[in-house]
Amino acid sequence: MDLSHWLTFFVAAWAISISPGPGAVAAMSAGLNHGFKRGYFTVFGLVMGIWTQLLVVSVGLGALVEASNTAFLIVKWAGVVYLVWLGIAQWRAAPGPLVAQDADAPLMRRREMVLRGWMINAVNPKGTVFMLAVVPQFLLLDQALLPQYLLIGATLSFTDLVVMAAYAAMAARLLSALRNPSHIRAMNRTFGSLFVLAGTLLALFKGAAH
């Protein structure tokens, strides 16, 4: 992966991490109920889940490339369509509360928080589909794939560690806003627009199959 491809993916990785999803909700919930220092262990688990998902996707994509470049192209464009659909769904989502604080929640052990974060990302089939939608856009099939997968995983890990730390740290302060329907609706539409924009840009991006 050359520098221009990586920079494009780096920008996409920030959009992926910032957009609200199960990982963001888990980070906010952990920050609210356990404090930042303890809650951040959930983020380590989320990152481990990213690597698990990437391993699953990379094995599947490797087999797909060997089988047919046409099949790879189909997966690539299906990913673009999925991102646009995800954006539209986010735009239309009901403004329900993202996370609630539970004052009676028992204090979880650190390893339990890591395991919980890992399970949220690793065994979530939507995570696999999302990873499958993004990764093929940036692979250069005429170059070694393993270094590209490692670079993609490291980039996603870095952005997730930073973004989820911000979610966990600011969750308590933003709790009132996260419960306000008008604010949640505006946030849903903002992130929905980002997903549609990301799908459009990836459709125009000359990457994997070119």
Q: Is 66 among the domain residues?
A: yes
Task: Please tell me the distance from the alpha carbon of residue 137 to that of residue 206, in angstroms, as a whole number.
Answer: 8
Q: 55 is in which domain, residue-wise? A: 3-204
Tokens 């604080």, residue? 101
What's the maximum distance between 2 C-alpha atoms anywhere in the chain?
A: 55
Q: Is 118 among the domain residues?
A: yes
Task: Please tell me the distance from the alpha carbon of residue 107 to that of residue 32, in angstroms, as a whole number.
Answer: 11
Q: Is 106 among the domain residues?
A: yes
Please, which residues have CB within 8 angstroms of residue 205's CB and are 6 or more apart in sequence? 8, 137
Q: Is 209 among the domain residues?
A: no
Asked if 95 contacts 23 with a C-beta cutoff of 8 angstroms, the reply is: no
pLDDT attached to residue 187: 65
Q: What is the pLDDT of residues 20-73, one digit of tens each?
A: 677 777 787 777 777 778 888 889 998 998 898 888 888 877 676 666 667 666
How many domains is the chain partitioned into structurally?
Answer: 1
Q: Is 8 among the domain residues?
A: yes
Low-confidence ranges of the chain (pLDDT < 70): 20, 62, 64-69, 71-73, 75-76, 79, 83, 86, 90, 95-108, 123-127, 172-180, 183-184, 187-188, 191, 194-195, 198-199, 201-210
